[in-house]
Structure 1
Amino acid sequence: MIVLVLLGVLALAVGGCACVVWAERGGPRWVRAVATMTLAAGKVVRRSERNRRPGLNGTAGNDG
């Protein structure tokens, strides 16, 4: 069951990346919409990853 979920997520990611490339080359409106959603989802994931690991910004362990 988990394999099917992971395959679905992989298919969505690959499809989203293909839409981003196609939209850059002037694809139809629905492709540009999917590309916009894919890029927005990537920004959300990067932002949440930054907020989850606060020790990587160089301030952890500097007590004075």
Structure 2
Amino acid sequence: MTILVLLGALVLAAGGCVCVVWAQRGGPRWTHAVAAVTLGAGSLLRRSAKRRRLRGGNSDGDGDD
């Protein structure tokens, strides 16, 4: 089951990247919407990682560095 979830996330990420490139090349309107969502999600993830680094936390959350 975990493999299916990870595979689904990989397919969604790859599809989002394809839509970003396609939208920049003038693709259909729906690709622009998918590209905007993909870029927004990437921005949120980068901001979250930056905050975590600034706080000095690690990925497992136990506080040991």
TM-score by length of structure 2 reads: 0.82
Deviation for aligned residue 1:42: 0.3
Please report the RMSD computed on the Cα atoms of aligned residues, expressed in angstroms.
0.7
Amino acid at match of 2:53: R
Unaligned runs of 5+ in 1: 56-64
Runs of 4+ that moved beyond 6 A: none
Unaligned runs of 5+ in 2: 57-65
TM-score by length of structure 1 reads: 0.83
Identity level (%): 65
Determine the structure 2 residue equivalent to 1:33: 33
Structure number with bigger Rg: 1
